[in-house]
Structure 1
Amino acid sequence: MSDLDRYLQAATRDNTRRSYRAAIEHFEIKWGGFLPATADSVARYLVAHAGVLSINTLKLRLSALAQWHNSQGFVDPTKAPVVRQALKGIRALHPAQEKQAEPLQLRDLERVVDWLEHEMQTARAEQDQASLLKASRDRALILLGFWRGFRSDELCRLQIEHVQAHAGSGITLYLPRSKGDRENLGQTYQAPALLRLCPVQAYIQWISDAALVRGPVFRGIDRWGNLSEEGLHANSVIPLLRQALERAGVAAEHYTSHSLRRGFATWAHQSGWDIKSLMNYVGWKDMKSAMRYVEAAPFHGMARITDKPLSP
């Protein structure tokens, strides 16, 4: 790989590269399209998958095709009127409500953290190092993910060298790159220590239990309690979260890694945070992104002007 290719690759997030590569393979191999593509073939590709793939997935496929043509020096066929009209028609004839992750409510956060702490106590008493490490790791990951509103890939890319935690005070975390950091300038995040459900105390305890001094914060743990040298993969966060919730007696099938982020945004909104403060804390750049995550009560405020409270 040349130096130019290396820098060009670094400019695109790993998840985006994988998604684009899969989209190009789907167009070429599974559907039988040819590259460079014509506007007509792209429009026919959209029509062939209308009602099967979601609008967001079709838009991702268009973005991948656009990126491929631009990078190879060809005219981008996805910008042609016929493609845009085809997508508009598909959206009109196949409307679908956007699926969103269920926000993790504070009461369920309390339940799962209480259960993990119970697991930690039991594991210490039984000298079960593997179970102790898994419960300690999961508690720290869930609390940090919730109170910082982190995405799963951000949690998995945290490095111990970039974290400063002070018991009873707060925690500072630096990420060299993230989805919202388009210029790759790096971003520093902070979270305070809390009297309960504290992410700072959970982080310090995990690092101590695992005897970690450098490298990825959150890692895989085998059945014997051996820690991986590599960080967790972002795709592993969903099963980790669901398994912890299920062990705590919480129905978890509708939760994803975004449930932590949405859960915090919902809690903050209901606790009186204004949207600007929430956007600054989480790192959203536009109002539309923030409102997608906020789970507001549908009749909030209306009870004040009615004879009796409204219920959904």
Structure 2
Amino acid sequence: MAVSAEAIVYAQGALAPSTWAAYTADWARFTRWCQDQGVDPLPVGPAALVEYIASHAKLVDVDGRPTYSPATISRWISSINAVHSREGMAAPGAHPQVKVVLAGVRRLSGAARPTRRVAPLMRDDLAHVLEVAREGTYPGGVHAARDACLLLFGFVGAFRREELSRLRVADVTRHRDDGLHVKVRRSKTDQESRGAVKALPYGQRPITCAPCAFVRWVHVLDAGHDRAQVMAAVFEVAGGAGHVCRAPEFEAHSLDGDRPLFPVVHRSGRVQPDAMGGHGVNLVVKRRTMAAGLDASRFGGHSMRAGFVTQAVRAGASSLEVMRQTQHTNPATVAVYSRDNDPLAGNAVTRLGL
């Protein structure tokens, strides 16, 4: 019995569109290699798949480092497995011979090409970045209001880049006691869209108060596309140094709840209908850290999330407390941040009395 088009649609819905796009590109790469080698790609035998892995794992760049990371090669095998499974065939990557070769690639290539992790954006550095970013002019003030909200959401909410880009205005609810409740409709660890709510509490200082940053930004958004009204809103939100998170005069009244919370903003200050992508989030972090005199090459979109974990661990938070906000599913992942960014946390060397 042939698989219906409807069934294929639901099967593809099990993974994010970006994942299917990567699988499609990976499969095209593999089929081209099979054509060059005279090998049938579907089904492919373990011997041919092992040769495919080895032929790419041995490639190096001008510095002698592997051209393709173990993670990339592993994803290729996942793509090949997915195509075989979709056709009702056994996944060739599950063969013991393939698993052994992949393990060897991870061990040998991983040593030659260590994982590059971005630096965490810590609380004091974030406060400095936000102070420098404050601007009451037009159009720079529009960018400043959006970027301040983005940076604080990313840090306080420990959001991933793609989660920030997917947020809509209606996903954020102001809460009298908690500050903000932010609905996360889907995440890397929630592909079935069960959803979760993150709380972004009131900050002690206005500059690091996420609810204040949100109120300022939606007040600018609420001004619409009329340049004079947007300019007035920018001047209003930049005019005071105190908290505005409870200020009734900054309530937004006309915002479409389905519009992106973090849209693209043209250099002219005009807000675009499209949401920022993960790359755009990354650029904001680099641009703002550079403006603050930090080494922007060390920072990226993940620095806000890494900063949250590192700051929380240094403050004595347990792995479970950290995971409550980050939505990690494995405490070992949290331990990686502690090991790489806060090596003295829980370390017996601090007890030596030297």
After TM superposition, is the score higher than 0.5?
yes
Inter-partner Cα distance in structure 2 for 1:232 and 1:279? 26
Which letter does structure 1 place at the counterpart of 2:22?
S
Inter-partner Cα distance in structure 2 for 1:224 and 1:92? 50
Bigger Rg over Cα: 2
Distance 1:216-1:34 versus aligned 2 partners, 3 A rule:
farther
Give the deviation of 1:168 after TM superposition. 7.5
Give the deviation of 1:98 after TM superposition. 2.3
Q: Per the alignment, in what secondary structure is the counterpart of residue 95 of structure 1?
A: helix
Q: How does 1:70-85 map to 2 (within 5 A)?
A: 70-85=85-100
Give the deviation of 1:112 after TM superposition. 0.9
Task: Choose from 101, 110, 123 the match for 2:118.
Answer: 101
How many residues get paired? Answer: 300
TM-score (norm 2): 0.79
TM-score (norm 1): 0.89
Q: How does 1:7-26 map to 2 (within 5 A)?
A: 7-26=10-29
Inter-partner Cα distance in structure 2 for 1:231 and 1:30? 37
1:207 aligns with 2:214: no
After superposing the two structures, state which structure 1 stretch, 187-196 or 97-106, moved more. Answer: 97-106
CA contact (8 A) 1:55 1:91 kept: yes
Inter-partner Cα distance in structure 2 for 1:267 and 1:92? 31
Q: Per the alignment, in what secondary structure is the counterpart of residue 298 of structure 2?
A: coil
Indicate the residue corresponding to 2:200 in structure 1.
191
CA contact (8 A) 1:70 1:76 kept: yes
Q: How does 1:39-50 map to 2 (within 5 A)?
A: 39-50=46-57
State the Cα RMSD in Å.
2.1
Give the deviation of 1:296 after TM superposition. 4.6
1:219 aligns with 2:263: yes
Indicate the residue corresponding to 1:236 in structure 2.
280
Q: Deviations over 1:12-35 (max 9, x none)?
A: 113322322232232223675752
Give the deviation of 1:304 after TM superposition. 4.5
Q: Deviations over 1:171-209 (max 9, x none)?
A: 011122111113321111111111120111101110111
After superposing the two structures, state which structure 1 stretch, 292-301 or 144-153, moved more. Answer: 292-301
Indicate the residue corresponding to 2:303 in structure 1.
259
Which letter does structure 2 place at the counterpart of 1:298?
P
Give the deviation of 1:237 after TM superposition. 1.1
Inter-partner Cα distance in structure 2 for 1:281 and 1:234? 20
Q: Deviations over 1:266-304 (max 9, x none)?
A: 000000101111112211111222223334532444454
Q: Percent identity?
A: 25
Q: Per the alignment, in what secondary structure is the counterpart of residue 94 of structure 1?
A: helix
Task: Choose from 323, 326, 331 the match for 1:279.
Answer: 323
Structure 2 residue ranges without an equivalent (≥5): 58-65, 223-254
Structure 1 residue ranges without an equivalent (≥5): none
